[in-house]
């Protein structure tokens, strides 16, 4: 099944043509430079930028795939979670295309895309990995932190999620407190690696003894802020790398500990990662050593760009939905759901 997939949930205007799990072509147009100076994504600017580029991106992705619009079997589009007015741009285009070419429409949950991003293959069908169910997925992005028990395709149970800030969001905020722009995750990773990921300050590991799989990163952010307030500018400047590193360690120790608990609770031996934070090498190293200890196989998105927002993962998640016969019944009625939960998109 050949799918043209669109994702405009945040700051990437992304389109892909996929066939099963293979990506025939994929173009993404990042707005990151536009948003950096504002310290985060500005919805109205994102919407306008999507509108300006979407038709161009669709046309060129199709051209690159070597397919014609008539050969597309279905259109897949992210309908949530994400920024309402940004999501709308992709949804409007997908609806118009499905109607014009009289094809099916598949509404995809953005987090479902991140969840299956390790299964996305290049046009040659690599990597070949087959993943057996059940597995645990740790989804860590700028807007979400969740541990999901995936029983089968489209059958999910949320084991735990964040009560406040997401892991990526907390790294973005910490970077901002240290004087860096958006996104903060890559800056923190680089600074930390320059001091060998040293944990000088031992900030609190939030909810580590809570006995459940919930996360909370806002208390850590506040204690980091108070800690910085007590330092002079010179002290801060001299300790920048150690501060970034200690903050990162606190966030990642918590992620690893809760993931380990999820694995023990469910008894599964497979772990999948997804979302922007999963590109981080320090997090990968820590998770891999936990996984080795627990005898668990761990999978990360196979290509770097698949960690971040992209339409390729939406095409693949769309393919799984299509295989289950889950198409949008009434195209005109499809609407954005900015706070869409994974459970709302579950098959069960």
280 near ligand KG4, rule: CB under 6 A: yes
Instruction: Write down the least CB distance from residue 185 to ligand KG4, Å.
Output: 2
61 near Zn ion, rule: CB under 5 A: no
Instruction: Write down the least CB distance from residue 309 to Zn ion, Å.
Output: 4
Q: Which does 319 bind (CB under 5 to 8 A by kind): ligand KG4, Zn ion, none?
A: none
Of 249, 155, 170, which Cα lies nearest the Cα of 215? 170
Rounded distance, CA 50 to CA 93, Å?
A: 11
141 near Zn ion, rule: CB under 5 A: yes
189-248 binders of ligand KG4 (CB under 6 A):
189
Whose Cβ is closer to ligand KG4: residue 269's or residue 284's? 284
CB under 6 A: which stretch of 99-107, 150-158, 169-177, 340-348 binds ligand KG4?
A: 169-177
Place of tokens 């939030």: 206
Instruction: Write down the least CB distance from residue 2 to Zn ion, Å.
Output: 24
Instruction: Write down the least CB distance from residue 235 to ligand KG4, Å.
Output: 25
Q: Which does 277 bind (CB under 5 to 8 A by kind): ligand KG4, Zn ion, none?
A: ligand KG4
Q: Which does 160 bind (CB under 5 to 8 A by kind): ligand KG4, Zn ion, none?
A: none
277 near ligand KG4, rule: CB under 6 A: yes
Sheet containing strand 135-140, edge to edge, reads: 155-161, 145-152, 135-140, 270-274, 297-299
Whose Cβ is closer to ligand KG4: residue 135's or residue 217's? 217
250-309 binders of Zn ion (CB under 5 A):
309
69-98 binders of ligand KG4 (CB under 6 A):
none
Is omega for the bond preceding 81 within 30 degrees of 0, making it cis? Answer: yes
Contacting residue, 113, 206, 276, 318, with ligand KG4 by CB under 6 A: 276
Rounded distance, CA 294 to CA 93, Å?
A: 46
Q: In the complex, which residues of this chain contact ligand KG4 (CB under 6 A)?
A: 10, 141-143, 168-169, 171-172, 183-186, 189, 275-277, 279-280, 308-309
Binding site for Zn ion (CB under 5 A): 141, 309
């Amino acid at each position: 099944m050949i799918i043209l997939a669109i994702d405009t949930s945040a700051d990437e205007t992304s389109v892909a043509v996929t066939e099963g799990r293979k990506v025939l072509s994929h173009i993404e147009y990042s707005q990151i430079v536009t948003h950096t100076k504002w310290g985060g994504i500005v919805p109205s600017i994102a919407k306008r930028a999507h509108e300006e580029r979407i038709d161009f991106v669709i046309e060129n992705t199709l051209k690159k795939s070597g397919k014609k619009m008539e050969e597309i079997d279905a259109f897949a589009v992210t309908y949530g979670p994400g920024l309402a007015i940004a999501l709308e741009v992709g949804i409007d285009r997908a609806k118009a295309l499905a109607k014009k070419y009289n094809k099916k429409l598949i509404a995809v949950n953005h987090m479902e895309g991140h969840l299956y991003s390790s299964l996305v293959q290049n046009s040659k069908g690599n990597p070949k990995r087959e993943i057996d169910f059940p597995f645990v997925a740790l989804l860590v992005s700028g807007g979400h932190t969740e541990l999901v028990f995936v029983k089968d395709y489209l059958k999910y149970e949320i084991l735990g999620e964040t009560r406040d800030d997401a892991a990526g969001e907390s790294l973005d905020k910490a970077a901002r407190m240290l004087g860096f722009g958006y996104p903060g995750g890559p800056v923190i990773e680089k600074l930390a690696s320059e001091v060998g990921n040293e944990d000088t300050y031992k900030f609190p590991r939030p909810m580590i003894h809570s006995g459940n799989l919930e996360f909370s990163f806002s208390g850590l952010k506040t204690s980091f802020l108070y800690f910085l307030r007590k330092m002079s500018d010179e002290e801060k400047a001299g300790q920048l790398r150690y501060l970034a590193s200690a903050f990162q360690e606190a966030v990642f120790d918590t992620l690893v500990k809760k993931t380990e608990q999820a694995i023990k609770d469910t008894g599964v031996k497979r772990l999948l990662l997804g979302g922007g934070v999963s590109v981080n090498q320090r997090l990968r190293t820590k998770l891999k050593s936990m996984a080795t200890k627990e005898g668990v196989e761990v999978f990360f998105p196979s290509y770097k760009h698949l960690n971040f927002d992209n339409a390729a993962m939406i095409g693949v998640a769309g393919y799984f939905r299509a295989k289950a016969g889950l198409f949008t019944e009434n195209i005109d009625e499809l609407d954005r759901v900015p706070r869409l939960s994974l459970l709302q998109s579950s098959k069960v």
